[in-house]
Amino acid sequence: MTDSAGAPLKGGGIWARKNPIRMLKDARHSLVFMSELWVERHRPQSVGEIRGQASVVSRLSVYAEHKEFPHLLFAGPPGTGKTTAAMALTKDVFGEHYRDNLLEMNASDERGLDKIRSKVKQFARTQPYGDAKFKIIFLDESDALTNDAQGALRRIMEQYAETCRFILSCNYSSKVIEPIQSRCAVFRFRPLADSEVLDQVKHVASEENVELEDDAAEALAKIAQGDLRRAITALQVSAAISETITRSIVYETSATAPPEALHQYIMACKDDGFHVARRRLQELLNKYGLAGTDFVGQLHRELYNVDFISEMDKLDLTEIMAEVDYRLVEGGGEKIQLDAMTAKLVTMLRN
């Protein structure tokens, strides 16, 4: 790589200095790719367009066909399609003017008793608009509602069952009181398989005319951990930097260390001693912008892919990481906690 005068630049990475014309082109390129969220642009508009969650889609398709359904509870991790499924079903039932008979709320923002009694009850007590048989109230993140608010919601669900249907989504169904669960058909959304995430990422890249290398697509599927929203967002961020998305760009822009870098850290603990391993750790944190808890989590996931550590040592290392993670969450100093973890790893692996 050279500068505007033809002289070579130091460092050929994606953050190397560029001439003003190139910088202007890059700025325009980034603006185009970040002008609209790809997650929203490629969100399925009907139940039939949803990919993955086959058992859920097959049941929802019946509801969409008959345009009738009971109260629903969607439970599962973030990015697995709960909101998409709720909105797609609503559009299939009501058609183009679905907004006329829909109240959409994020329960984590409006989680109190007053909001349920006023906003939800006021909407539920009015008659459906047009020819619709009922109205729909979609409460996203309903597990954030207080117990008093959930109690009031239960009574509203009973009182207005003929003219209103509730769709509740949550990450943890155990935080939703049993009387509400018993009034709903419960759908369990599971993390998407890597193959499903991979297919969707390649589809979005093709639709957006982005050149996505195969190993970069696999990296996106790996860092997503079943969260398709995270994968598509990471794809868009990478596309804003370069027209050709490589594996290294994906890892550098997603605050994720590649597996081989984590393996090198473990190897340094095993073979090179504390000071070298500590230096390797600091390089990882600085290069990929990792927080302490992020590093511990990623290291834990990769630990079981390391073949030079015995099964019993992996169990002991897991306990060490769990303890450090807890201390970090509780406010322990990041630097000293990670150094302590490194010291324990060195002691265990070198014996």
Per domain, the residue ranges of the chain are: 53-188, 193-253, 259-350
Q: Checking DSSP bridges between strand 102-106 and strand 211-212, what pairing results, if any?
A: unpaired
**What's the rounded mean pLDDT across residues 215-238?**
92
Task: Could you please state the CATH topology (level 3) that the domain comprising 53-188 is classified under.
Answer: Rossmann fold (3.40.50)
Residue 222 contacts by C-beta under 8 Å, 6 or more apart in sequence? 194, 259
Is 259-350 the same fold as 53-188? no
Q: Does domain 259-350 have CATH number 1.20.272.10?
A: yes
- What pLDDT, in 10s, does the model give residues 134-190? 999 999 988 888 888 888 888 888 888 888 999 999 999 899 999 999 999 999 999
- Checking if the pLDDT of 311 tops 50, the result is yes
- What pLDDT, in 10s, does the model give residues 270-307? 898 899 999 999 999 998 888 999 999 999 999 888 88
Percentage of residues of the chain with pLDDT beyond 70: 87
The pTM of this model reads 0.78
Helix (H) or strand (E) holding 178: helix 178-181
- What pLDDT, in 10s, does the model give residues 59-94? 999 999 999 999 999 999 988 999 999 999 999 998
Q: Does domain 193-253 have CATH number 2.40.160.20?
A: no
At residue 133, φ and ψ (nearest 5 deg) are -80, -25
3 state DSSP class of 136: strand
- Whether 284 and 258 have beta carbons less than 8 Å apart is answered as no
